[in-house]
Each structure stands twice: as C-alpha cells, then as structure tokens.
C-alpha cells in the first residue's frame, strides 16, 4: 500500500500544520502544480520565502500526509531537484447545493476532483426539520459511499461541509433572511443547525457566491460576474480576485433590480424586477426575450462595476446556452458601441455546468481549512 493511501485519513488530525499563511500558500502552489509537482526552489521563488523556510514547511506537510515526493527534475546545474506534489486524497470536503426544488451533494478531494455525488428532489417549502433531514441523510450517504463511514466525525480526512442556497442570507453568521418565495426560513440559523446534526464544521453562503468562490479558485482571475438563472436569478461578484459580498453580505441580489416600473409583481414583493421578467419570458417559451432581459441586467452590472467577464450558469441557461450567450453579448456589444469602448465584457458559459454551485460550496471549506483563501 502506498504512503499516500496510508496517510489519506490523517489530514483531519494534522491540519494544524496549515494554519499559517505561508503553509497555506505553499499548499496552494502544490495544488496548482498538479501531478507534475513543483520543486522547493520554485516554491521559494514564487512565495518569496527562504529555501530554509520552505524546507521546514514542506517537511511538516509531508509528515502530515498532505505532500509527497513526485520524482526528480533535471537541474541546470548541480544535482537534480526533488519535486513535490499535493496528495489529493489527504483531505475531502462536501459541497451542498440546496435549490428550491432540488438537492445536489458532492464530495471532493483537495485538488477539487469529485469522488462522490448524489442528486435528489428537495422541497424548500416543506419546513426546516423536513429539509434538514433530507440534507443530512444525503450528506451522510455521499460520505459513506466513498469514505466508508456515514458518521462524519469518524471520516478522518473530512474537513467540513459547505452549503449554498438562494439568498438573501447572513454569510458571516450562517443565518437565512427572507428567501424569495419561502418566508418561513427568515431568521433560521442554518449553519448552526447543520453543524449540530453533522458534527463537523459547516459554512453557508448564497449559491451565486459559492459559485464565484469556486470559479475564482479554479483560475478565473480579475473581475467578473457569475449570473445564475435557474429557479431564480442572482449574481456572484468577484472584484480584483476576491468575492464581493458587501457590508451586510448582501451583494449580488441581481435579480431584484427594477427594470420596468409598474411591471409584473415579483415574489420579492416589488414590481418589474429582472427576475420576474426573465422567468416569465422563459415560461412563455420566449427564450430570446429572456436573454435580452438578462442582457439588460448584465449591461447595468458592467456599467456599474466595469468588470472583465460575464459568466452564465444555472439550469435554465444550461439547457440551451447559445441563445443566452448571444442575447447577452448583443446587449453588451451595443452598449460598448454607444459608449465608444474599444472592447466589451466577454460573455461565456461556466465549464463546470450544473455542478458549479456545489463545487463552489466545497471550495468554501477548502479555502478556509487548507488553502488560506478566507472565502468561507
């Protein structure tokens, strides 16, 4: 049996070694290097740490089972350099997406690869106890299927559970506000309730923010907006490489900008919101109209924040992405021409598909517990 597999269950007990910024930085570089690995000298050059400091950090990471040798690489002078890599199996995180009518649970390794997944229906309006029962059972079954124990506290490599669902909510305290269409959740302490039932650390955020966390961790740099059109409409914002949540963690309520005075009533209680106009057009089968409405909202966002890219996702978009990409692009192109801009914000579809939210929820756990991103 390999050393990696022997150590794969030890991360939960040994993560104290990555509580420093420098250790987390080294781990992030090991993750980015993939299976090819990276040498200690390269780690020192890219972190600004001394070779001695890097040697101490990598020694602790190897002892904890989080890093291992990946062979040797030819040197331009002197003896070949030892190359180190991340041990992906050394830790796992669960990502949960609670949608209004569906549940998705993924189990991922330290490198973000999915090793377990479960999908089933969910009625967010069934009440807290019923919903929590479904979520807890699904998380335990997903963990049991791969790690061999449904008791999360006995799964030694499990770092925690990230949960993403429609907002608004208080990310810092893990407390829900009045979820659009489901007022019964207002004030519910979801994070603490799940932590008590699961017995492991839990972080909670809006589905759009979770997706933004995952996209940024996966290499989407700069400033961008993730627009999620599914059972609702929201946005996750990344400004300068960091998720923007706002002073009260309420940023990104994109779907409830009013674009038609005295328009149709939205479930939020206002009239003419982007969400109700867009979803109504989809319900009528007028996808091109929905795409143009989405483009108007995207144009407002680009005009306010001057972002680089607009990424589209959510089940409604992903069923047939082309008209949405085309419609949003046309609106942004027209805006750029009117304002004499040399280039408009690029428009694309998330490559992670419908997993983008659940993967982001898992990344919230990894970011805090391992890679020091502070996004959870």
Q: What pLDDT digit, counting tens, does each position of 153-181 carry?
A: 666 689 999 999 998 899 999 999 888 78
- Running DSSP on this structure, what letter comes out for residue 165? E
| Two domains, one topology: 3-89 and 216-355 | no
CATH top class, domain 216-355? alpha beta
- Running DSSP on this structure, what letter comes out for residue 272? S
Widest CA span of the chain, in angstroms?
75
Domain 3-89 sits in CATH 1.10.10.10? yes
Would you place residue 324 in the very low, low, confident or very high pLDDT band (cuts 50, 70, 90)?
very high
* Residue 327 or 4, more confident: 327
Both structure tokens of 225:
């907006």
Neighbours of 264 (CB within 10 A): 11
Contact 89, 4 (CB under 8 A): yes
Q: Which residue has the tokens 């109700």?
A: 276
What does residue 342 show for φ and ψ, rounded to 5 degrees?
Answer: -70, -30
Q: What is the dihedral of CA 109, 113, 114, 115, to 10 degrees?
A: -60
pLDDT score of 271: 96
CA dist 178 to 125, 139, 170, 252, 334, Å?
A: 12, 25, 11, 15, 36
Instruction: Tell me the domain boundaries of the chain.
Output: 3-89, 91-212, 216-355
Contacts with 14 (C-beta within 8 Å, 6 or more apart), sequence order: 63, 64, 65, 66
Find, among 275, 272, 277, 240, the residue nearest to 259 by Cα: 272
Specify the CATH number for 91-212; select among 3.30.830.10, 1.10.760.10, 3.40.50.850, 3.30.420.40: 3.30.420.40
Span 28-46, mean pLDDT?
93
Q: What pLDDT digit, counting tens, does each position of 269-281 carry?
A: 899 999 999 999 9
Residue 376 has pLDDT above 70, yes or no: no
Q: What pLDDT digit, counting tens, does each position of 46-70 carry?
A: 999 999 999 999 999 999 999 999 8
Task: Give the residue ranges of DSSP H helices in the chain.
Answer: 3-7, 11-14, 21-33, 40-47, 51-63, 128-147, 190-198, 207-217, 274-283, 287-305, 315-319, 321-338, 356-369
């Amino acid at each position: 049996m390999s050393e990696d597999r022997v150590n794969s269950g030890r991360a939960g007990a040994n993560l104290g070694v990555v509580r420093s910024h420098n250790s987390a930085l080294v781990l992030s570089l090991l993750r980015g290097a993939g299976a090819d690995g990276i040498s200690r000298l390269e780690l020192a050059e890219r972190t600004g740490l001394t070779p001695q400091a890097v040697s101490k950090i990598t020694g602790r990471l190897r002892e904890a089972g989080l890093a291992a040798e990946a062979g040797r690489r030819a040197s331009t002078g002197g003896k070949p350099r030892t190359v180190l890599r991340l041990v992906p199996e050394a830790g796992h995180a669960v990502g949960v997406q609670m949608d209004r009518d569906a549940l998705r649970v993924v189990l991922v390794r330290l490198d973000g690869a999915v090793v377990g997944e479960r999908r089933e229906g969910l009625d967010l309006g069934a009440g807290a106890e019923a919903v929590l029962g479904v979520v807890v059972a699904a998380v335990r079954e997903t963990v049991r299927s791969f790690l061999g124990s449904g008791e999360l506290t006995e799964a030694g490599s499990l770092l925690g559970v990230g949960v993403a669902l429609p907002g608004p909510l208080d990310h810092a305290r893990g407390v829900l506000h009045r979820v659009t269409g489901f007022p019964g959740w207002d004030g519910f302490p979801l994070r603490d309730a799940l932590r008590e039932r699961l017995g492991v650390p839990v972080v909670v955020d809006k589905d759009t923010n979770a997706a933004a966390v995952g996209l940024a961790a996966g290499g989407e740099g700069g400033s961008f907006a993730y627009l999620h059109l599914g059972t609702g409409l929201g946005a996750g914002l990344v400004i300068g490489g960091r998720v923007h949540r706002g002073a009260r963690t309420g940023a990104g309520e994109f779907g409830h900008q009013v674009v038609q005075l005295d328009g149709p009533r939205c479930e939020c209680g206002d009239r003419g919101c982007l969400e109700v106009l867009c979803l109504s057009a989809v319900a009528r089968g007028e996808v091109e109209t929905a795409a143009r409405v989405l483009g108007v909202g995207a144009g407002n966002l680009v005009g306010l924040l001057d972002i680089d890219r607009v990424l589209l996702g959510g089940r409604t978009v992903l069923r047939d992405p082309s008209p949405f990409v085309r419609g949003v692009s046309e609106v942004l192109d027209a805006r750029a021409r009117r304002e004499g801009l040399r280039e408009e914000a690029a428009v694309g579809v998330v490559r992670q598909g419908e997993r983008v939210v659940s993967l982001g929820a898992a990344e919230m756990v990894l970011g805090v517990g391992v890679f020091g991103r502070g996004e959870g």
